[in-house]
Amino acid sequence: MDELVLGGHRFTSRLVVGTGKYKDFPTMNAALQASGAGMVTVAVRRLDLKARGEASLLHWIPKDMVLLPNTAGCFTAEDAIRTCRLARELQLGGENPLVKLEVLSDAKTLLPDVEETLEAARQLVAEGFRVLPYTNDDPVAAKKLEDAGCAAVMPLGAPIGSGLGLRNPYSLQMILEQAKVPVIVDAGVGTASDCALCMELGVSGLLVNTAISGASDPVAMARAMKLATEAGRLAYLAGRIPRKLYGSASSPLAGVIGAA
Amino acid sequence: MRATVNGEPVELPDGLTVSMLLQHLGVRAERVAVERNGEVVKQARHGEQRLTSGDVLEIVTFVGGG
């Protein structure tokens, strides 16, 4: 069985999906189911004290999906650490909770602040969290996060929500060669072929939100991502042929009619 | 007494516990977490932790995100 083992959980799907930016909860629910994901990200935000009795997000997340709280929107290690502690409390203080650590540098690029991320990762690991950090496609940063005790490293393919796909496959290959923890491409996926490409390079999994929730038909795109992730994984395991400059005939060259 | 809840200054009755504060604010969401002056107040202690004047409180929940 080809499983993704991540932070103490075993997943048959290698796709992790977000729950942000859906037009409504029923669409989100249908897309989550169509994606086949075993884990979904959620954000931690101030409760709207004026909106009473509103439908809760959690009612619309299938019960068998593992929740991965994120620290999205945090720009300092301190805020990210506080957010993780609140997330643990929201999950009723479970043992070694999983968190997606995300500390951003600025609101325009949404690129990770690796220095703050590393500082937060060290503290959170010491507090018993299983930390999945969003990071740059930088092999040095990935190694430092792994050495800090993170349960995975999650380099970006491109900026969050940009849909630009995998911009630097060579950096990703370096990260993959050295990593002893799962490598998950987080951010940048635009369409299904991006999923397949990343998986073919050998990443352990993918985290996708905007490319699904922002598609014209999010449920169909969720299914496309599921299939592409599976196809890419299979192709990686199958072992692709090397690239060659010249042609190589598929049919025998001998026995062609009319030959002398 | 004066306190700050989710960034807003509020006037609250004296001597509230965290549980009473949630009731006072009409919070009905089944899953919330409370931070008081930068420290999480565990749910099991909501009934015993009493607020004091000038407290800074954050009441949070899960929302959609990536």
- A100 belongs to the catalytic site: yes
List the domain boundaries for chain A. 4-46+57-238
C-alpha A55 chain-centroid distance:
27
Q: Residue A57: list chain B partners with CB under 8 A.
A: 62-64
Catalytic residue among A50, A100, A108, A226: A100
Tens digits of pLDDT across chain A (260 residues):
899 999 889 999 999 999 999 999 999 999 999 999 999 999 999 998 887 655 689 999 999 999 999 999 999 999 999 999 999 999 876 777 999 999 999 999 999 999 999 999 999 999 999 999 999 999 999 999 999 999 999 999 999 999 999 999 999 999 999 999 999 999 999 999 999 999 999 999 999 999 999 999 999 999 999 999 999 999 999 999 999 999 999 999 899 998 87
Which residue(s) pair with A84 in the sheet?
A: none
Give the minimum alpha-carbon distance from A152 to chain B in angstroms, rounded to a whole number.
17
CATH architecture of A4-46+57-238: Alpha-Beta Barrel (3.20)
Give the minimum alpha-carbon distance from B32 to chain A in angstroms, rounded to a whole number.
6
Q: Of the candidates A143, A109, A142, A148, which has an alpha carbon nearest to the alpha carbon of residue A130? A: A148
Spatial distance between the Cα atoms of A239 and B3, rounded to a whole number of angstroms:
62
- Token pair listed for A97: 């909770």
Identify whether B6 is part of a domain: yes
Domain total in chain B: 1
Q: Which domain holds residue B51?
A: 2-60
